[in-house]
Structure 1
């Protein structure tokens, strides 16, 4: 009789300060997650940490040489953990516990954390591209323009449901449009040379978005080897609202004033300033110019439930 296969062992790191974990947390939650992973034959150890303890907790988890490191949090937490696993043999899995959970959606991970645990227990690893923005890792997107400026004034909505944030963005779009001056940007890439654009919104993603009607935009490929560039050319608040709707609902190719380009690397500069507000996977910060965007092809191994069904 052949020996049973060895039990896989996962380390699970939860950011206690991430959106939905604040609402879900109770003393029995770690045991419930352990039970969900066990349904798929995985032995899971749960480590919960606040943001200030996250780096040390991730290092401790990786040092045990698990079969996978599972990260529970929003997109900012996930991309931060990913930056510590680039090029590593240990694959990363995502327990979606944030607001938009873009990376989890792109990978086909169920949005309910317990369903996600069951799916990750039997998921297969695959290698995906990541975007480096002045050395900072972005798994989902980097956005410039009115959105990070507006989001910075809405920190009280951090952790709310995605539809609440989306409604607030649409409600405040007119005010943000007129309060945020347009950006004068210079883009330089091997593919396009130097081009100049005046814009109120620009987004950069590892890959490109699927052009289908969807509540939240999803990417067609996560290993396409290119940076998707989306630049708004809208000049009125009504036109920008239409463009943002196209962006949110995955209809970018049908929006004539939303320019789409591709590059493998990109440098952004501006004559106006040397720092800009930016959103990187939902985290709002000031980023220095010149902004160097580099694609790191297949640099991160992730657990992908949908890959198990290919």
Structure 2
């Protein structure tokens, strides 16, 4: 995106994101200096971020200021309009921004948007018709999302995740799930099932160490520890994305998997509760374009 070319950029900032109120003159100036004509909109009443995008199809790109939940809310609008996405990381975890190598500082991210290219389209995950960028989970992470309120995330950030996670973990129990994938059916006992499209989730955990958002696969894993305290020894591997080496972890790449449970269980997509089991996960190849650094610069 050259600085001499004025482009109409739809700018949507989520004021409820942890750092949403931090958006101000510095960020606006950086974007305009980069050659962008800003069209600033926020969802009104019952509008969603996707509704706003669908109403501004004549823009050249969409800039979303918020966290992973805000990006998730924009996914449908981006898919339907074909508009490329640029990101201002204003949320609690900003896992997708980290996955694609966007700076954590919002002002620096705004400065760099002008120098990024809209790369070849990235993949998205989908579960029961709900899109996601990073990871969808059933079990422990979904219960965490249920109990960690927006107010707590905004006030405490990653510390809030850790406090609530520890409390839930100590009372978590295994549940039975049935997997259908790649021509086979499996019965498992698990603490959590996760299906990743990106690399990072949950404030810095890694689904799989080599995962990218354009690798043409979903990364499945199941935590099959029989006592919660055994998960503590797995934590370093979960952060590095090397947990598939452990006997207590079932992991495999796929493009489609169905997870059934005896009773309906919530599904967490990008930190938001979106649907329930049975959960039909599938990969959507080359779904949307994103302004981001060269893939070789990814962490």
TM-score (norm 1): 0.83
Look up the match of 1:67. Answer: 60
Q: Which of 128, 135, 154 matches 2:122?
A: 128
Look up the match of 1:282. Answer: 271
3-state SS in 1 of match to 2:237: helix
Structure 2 matches for 1:52-201, cutoff 5 A?
52-55=46-49, 56-60=51-55, 62-63=56-57, 65-86=58-79, 88-126=81-119, 127-155=121-149, 156-160=151-155, 162-177=157-172, 181-189=173-181, 191-201=182-192
Look up the match of 2:8. Answer: 9
Structure 2 matches for 1:206-225, cutoff 5 A?
206=197, 215-217=204-206, 220-225=211-216
1:252 equivalenced with 2:243 (yes/no): yes
Indicate how the Cα distance of structure 1 residues 90 and 125 shifts in structure 2: closer, same or farther if over 3 A, else same: same
Deviation at 1:263, TM superposition (A): 1.1
Deviations 1:233-288 (A, max 9, x none): 11112112223442234332443322211111111112x21x21221101134x33
Native 8 Å contact 1:276 1:289 kept in 2: yes
Deviation at 1:153, TM superposition (A): 2.3
3-state SS in 2 of match to 1:85: helix
Look up the match of 2:38. Answer: 44
Indicate how the Cα distance of structure 1 residues 308 and 261 shifts in structure 2: closer, same or farther if over 3 A, else same: closer
Indicate how the Cα distance of structure 1 residues 215 and 58 shifts in structure 2: closer, same or farther if over 3 A, else same: closer
TM-score (norm 2): 0.86
In 1, distance between residues paired with 2:218 and 2:241? 17
Indicate how the Cα distance of structure 1 residues 86 and 16 shifts in structure 2: closer, same or farther if over 3 A, else same: same
1:34 equivalenced with 2:28 (yes/no): yes
The structure with the largest alpha-carbon Rg is 1
Native 8 Å contact 2:9 2:36 kept in 1: yes
Deviation at 1:150, TM superposition (A): 3.4
In 1, distance between residues paired with 2:164 and 2:8? 41
Native 8 Å contact 1:144 1:277 kept in 2: yes
Native 8 Å contact 2:99 2:198 kept in 1: no
Native 8 Å contact 1:230 1:259 kept in 2: yes
Deviation at 1:51, TM superposition (A): 7.5
- Structure 1 runs not aligned, ≥5 long: none
- Structure 2 runs not aligned, ≥5 long: none
The CA RMSD measured in Å over matched residues stands at 2.7
Deviation at 1:289, TM superposition (A): 2.9
3-state SS in 2 of match to 1:98: coil
